[in-house]
Amino acid sequence: MNQRIWALLASSFKTILLPGLTVTIPLTIISFSFALVIATITAIVQVKKINILKQLARFYIWIIRGTPLLVQLFVVFYGLPSLGIILDPFPAAVIVFSINEGAYAAEIIRAAIEAVDKGQTEAGVCLGLSYVQTMRYIVLPQAFKIAFPSLSNSLIAMVKDTSLAANITVCEMFMKTQQIVARTYEALALYLLVGFIYLIFCTVLTKLQSWGEKKLSKAY
């Protein structure tokens, strides 16, 4: 690389990093938080085995897991306006990422709930707790401990998946990189740079995952 490219990388680093901190990370955190709520409800519905609700949950999971995330983004952002539903780019991305991740996380949490000893539920009943209380205070805390590594991996994957939001004009760090590339024509160097920034984000999350697993192992 010549001096010009190094200078471009140095000046572009902050320009790309800022949308990463102000858009990419918030988009990931907000979407993943909503996804966990969706996933938990969907998982409990399946475990509870209320037939109609269970079938609806399975249908939701089937549709979302069987279609590309990019197609889902296009349907919501570019398709819904034909029905009179117009969303801004960021809320549209949050909705799609939440629903998409919710389907995958639902299966993780369902498996984790089923992995909790049945005696735990029976113990809750013996203590006079309702089903909701038993799930909240006894089963779910243990299930989330079991699911924590897989959910953490999903969160890390979502950080990278947010780059797809550039396709619906969310100005996150990948779109910002594309704008700089269009102006400078230095695609290789700049895409390597944004890849490096994604790597930094994911490395930090991986370290937090390791720390969280150690904390959870001591908590129970």
In three state form, how does the secondary structure of the chain look?
Answer: CCHHHHHHHHHHHHHHHHHHHHHHHHHHHHHHHHHHHHHHHHHHHHHHCCHHHHHHHHHHHHHHHCCCHHHHHHHHHHHHHHHCCCCCHHHHHHHHHHHHHHHHHHHHHHHHHHHCCHHHHHHHHHCCCCHHHHHHHHHHHHHHHHHHHHHHHHHHHHHHHHHHHHHHCCCCHHHHHHHHHHHHCCHHHHHHHHHHHHHHHHHHHHHHHHHHHHHHHHHC
- Whole-prediction pTM: 0.92
| pLDDT tens profile 7-54 | 999 999 999 999 999 999 999 999 999 999 999 999 999 988 788 999
Per-residue model confidence as pLDDT tens digits over 186-216: 999 999 999 999 999 999 999 999 999 988 8
Evaluate if residue 220 carries a pLDDT over 60. no
